[in-house]
Chain A
Amino acid sequence: MTTTRKITVAEKLRWNTNQTLETNTYIRCYSDALDRHMDPATRQEFFMISKFLTDGTVALSKNQISLAAYHFEKAERYIRQIDPTRETLLKFIANVYGRSKSFHYYKLNDHAAAIRLIEETQTATEALEAKEGLAFLVLDRVSQYHNMARLFFSLGLEEKGFHQLSACICFLMTGHSDVLSDLNRNYIKEYDGPFIEMKSSLLQQLLTETILSLQKEPSAELFRKESASFLEPIFQRTEKFVKHSDTDEQVHDWLSIARVFYAGDILSFKKLSIRFISTSKSTKLKEAIKGYFSYC
């Protein structure tokens, strides 16, 4: 006889290693900023250390914990050799180190250390954002808060986790957060093309990934409860959603349709969903709305 193992929210949600955030635009912006702030030798030193950290993260995602530790130790050895006066290099490293190493702590079940490191990284990233061409890294902080939410789930603090997830999305929608107030301290003066692209893409990614993860839940009742905890604060902010792109418009439409589902008008929900599926260009948003059908 077999039993189905219950999958917790923490297991359903993926750790955001910024692989999806790191679109071509992100890499281009990051690379341009590196060119601006570092000489070639320093830049290559940074790339090398980042590679070891990435190798560590890749090993972690395959559950190769010992191999990951080896890569991290290697990176740390090189980091220790850096002269403390090389502040710019160290700040860039702090950004990549924090997001990789916190994942390591998470995998080792040392949640307190992971949270502490994310908090430290947020401060370091904020300092980095002050530099020319790096204001967009505020999005990096959003993705770190997303990871922190996952840690809350692992600690059994589900309410806090959903609160955090929603806060990330609300910030991306409105440019302001009552919950994660440090995000309001940023250096974004205007929403230029690349920033809009990255912001919209991250917004769509966080929303759909969370919903698709929650849709792994076979119990309709539990799905409704979990997803409502996540979406309710977002619905409350929908009116203040500042839409900059076609993707934003689609996210907005998606939210309006999802709202109908939670209001209990399943017939209208289905009608609107079918129309959305036939017109939307976003595969992920379509997939996320389709996922609701099994709970109707």
Chain B
Amino acid sequence: MGVMLTTYVVNLLRDRQFQQLPNNIFNILMFHEIIVPEDEDELSDIVRRKVLQNNTPEFQQSLFIESKHLDESDYLEELKSKFHHAFRDEITIVIDDRFKKDFFIQAEKTRSYLGEIIAQPEPASTLAVITTDISTLVLPEWISSATVVWDTNVMMDWTKSLDAFRLNISKGERSFPVKLHILFDEEILTTTERFSSMTSSISSRNLTIVCGVRRREHHSFDQWKMYEQQLIQRLKENKISLNLLPEPQTRYHLNGNQNGHKLHLENGDLILFDDDYEIMARPHLGEPWAQQLMEKNTSCSRCQFLPMCGGNPHHVENLNEECPEFITAFSDRISLKYKLFHL
């Protein structure tokens, strides 16, 4: 997401000289909703779309399956009985390091089994891997996309691991998008050499890297925010350009769900819930919630991040600890992404 505009285009927009814009530029700006109809209530439109996208029975939900259940014979049967096949065509199989014995074989078996009850002839399969070691991780060919959560250790030579991982995913005939979430320890912020040895262009065509500081239980929100800022600072110092901006489909509102969460990564990619057998259903935004946001009577309604984060009407103040991490050092994040284009 994101467009770069020349001064010429910015000036045309500023002067409302839309008709001077060439067709292709106009279409790009319209696609990104930088230009919208004059009579459109943008906030209402965005919130309404989020509600309709997520809060309808026909929403294609991802089916999240944790690897620890894959060898339980009645688990899949229960899944089948609980969830109507017509509603989803994507399976996300979550592999945790602790349960990774034969996981790819089990995951493939699960996928074929569920494929038979899913509406699409070939369901898209996402593999979500949570691991402390990416250097030996080989992703199977049958998946459509992968999300890898890499819980790094400060002692690890992580640039070497990253190189090994990049090599592994570039092997094989089929290429699929891989998103790598690197979770850093706060200690890494004090070890300069680990950053300076990193190459400047670490994202590549099929690999998107996002990173953040792991929030530990003893971290206060402000403390954690400070570490995030330090991390961004270190990236900048070492001229490491990354896209740390949220994607448009960020579902921040999930944070407020009463079921609680086990692991919630920003950008709405991986959301698991505590209750083992209820992990598949994505929670709903809910009409009253949307209504409150649209009525613009919550603190979120007045916040500049609202279209990106999804909003939470229960916030009593802006930018508290329920807010997603992307709000931290936002302008620095934009600058990191901008530099990414200029590598």
A278 within 8 A of B: no
A36 within 8 A of B: no
Say whether, besides A44-B18, A65-B58, A78 and B37 are in contact (CB < 8 Å): yes
Complex contact B113–A48 (CB within 8 A) = no
A131 within 8 A of B: no
Closest-by-CB residue of B relative to A45 is: B37
Say whether, besides A41-B19, A64-B52, A65-B58, A5 and B116 are in contact (CB < 8 Å): yes
Complex contact A64–B116 (CB within 8 A) = no
Complex contact B56–A31 (CB within 8 A) = no
Complex contact B23–A64 (CB within 8 A) = no
Q: How far is the CA of A172 from the CA of B89 in the complex (A)?
A: 35
Among the listed stretches B24-32, B131-139, B154-162, which one makes contact with chain A, having 4 or more residues with CB under 8 Å of it? B24-32
Complex contact A43–B23 (CB within 8 A) = yes
Q: How far is the CA of A43 from the CA of B24 in the complex (A)?
A: 12
- A-facing residues in B57-95 (Cβ within 8 Å): 58-60, 89
**What residues of chain A lie closer than 8 Å to B89, measured between beta carbons?**
63
Say whether, besides A66-B52, A67-B49, A67-B52, A47 and B27 are in contact (CB < 8 Å): yes
B121 within 8 A of A: yes
Complex contact B60–A7 (CB within 8 A) = no
Complex contact A44–B19 (CB within 8 A) = yes
State which of A4, A7, A51, A59 has its C-beta within 8 Å of the C-beta of B30: A51
B236 within 8 A of A: no
Minimum CB–CB distance from A235 to chain B (whole Å) comes to 28
Complex contact A70–B30 (CB within 8 A) = no
A11 within 8 A of B: yes
B337 within 8 A of A: no
B229 within 8 A of A: no
Q: Dominant SS at the A interface?
A: helix
Closest-by-CB residue of A relative to B33 is: A51
**What residues of chain A lie closer than 8 Å to B119, measured between beta carbons?**
63
A2 within 8 A of B: yes
Complex contact B53–A67 (CB within 8 A) = yes
Say whether, besides A44-B26, A78-B37, A70 and B49 are in contact (CB < 8 Å): yes
**What residues of chain A lie closer than 8 Å to B19, measured between beta carbons?**
40-41, 44
B234 within 8 A of A: no
Q: How far is the CA of A216 from the CA of B27 in the complex (A)?
A: 37
Closest-by-CB residue of A relative to B19 is: A40
Complex contact A216–B60 (CB within 8 A) = no
Closest-by-CB residue of B relative to A59 is: B53
Mask, A31-61, CB within 8 Å of B = 1, is 1001100001101100110010000000100
Complex contact A35–B52 (CB within 8 A) = no
Mask, A1-28, CB within 8 Å of B = 1, is 0111101000110000000000000000
State which of B20, B49, B121 has its C-beta within 8 Å of the C-beta of A7: B121
**What residues of chain B lie closer than 8 Å to A64, measured between beta carbons?**
52-53, 56, 58-60
Closest-by-CB residue of B relative to A69 is: B52
- B-facing residues in A60-114 (Cβ within 8 Å): 62-67, 70, 78
Say whether, besides A43-B23, A47-B26, A216-B121, A3 and B60 are in contact (CB < 8 Å): no
Minimum CB–CB distance from A55 to chain B (whole Å) comes to 9
Say whether, besides A2-B113, A47-B27, A48-B37, A70 and B48 are in contact (CB < 8 Å): yes
Complex contact B56–A47 (CB within 8 A) = no
**What residues of chain B lie closer than 8 Å to A4, measured between beta carbons?**
116
Q: How far is the CA of A2 from the CA of B48 in the complex (A)?
A: 40
**What residues of chain B lie closer than 8 Å to A78, measured between beta carbons?**
37
Complex contact A66–B116 (CB within 8 A) = no
Q: How far is the CA of A263 from the CA of B141 in the complex (A)?
A: 37
Closest-by-CB residue of A relative to B30 is: A51
Say whether, besides A41-B19, A44-B18, A51-B30, A65 and B116 are in contact (CB < 8 Å): no
Residue pairs across A and B with Cβ atoms less than 8 A apart, 6 shown, are A2-B117, A7-B121, A51-B30, A63-B59, A67-B49, A67-B52
**What are the 9 tightest A-B residue pairs by CB atom distance, in nearest-first order?**
A40-B19, A67-B52, A66-B56, A66-B52, A65-B58, A67-B53, A63-B58, A63-B60, A70-B52
Q: 11 additional contacts, CB 8 Å, given A51-B31, A63-B59, A64-B58?
A: A2-B113, A12-B121, A31-B23, A34-B23, A48-B37, A63-B60, A63-B89, A66-B56, A66-B58, A70-B52, A216-B121
Q: Which residues of A contact B (CB under 8 A)?
A: 2-5, 7, 11-12, 31, 34-35, 40-41, 43-44, 47-48, 51, 59, 62-67, 70, 78, 216
Q: Which residues of B contact A (CB under 8 A)?
A: 18-20, 23, 26-27, 30-31, 37, 48-49, 52-53, 56, 58-60, 89, 113, 116-117, 119, 121
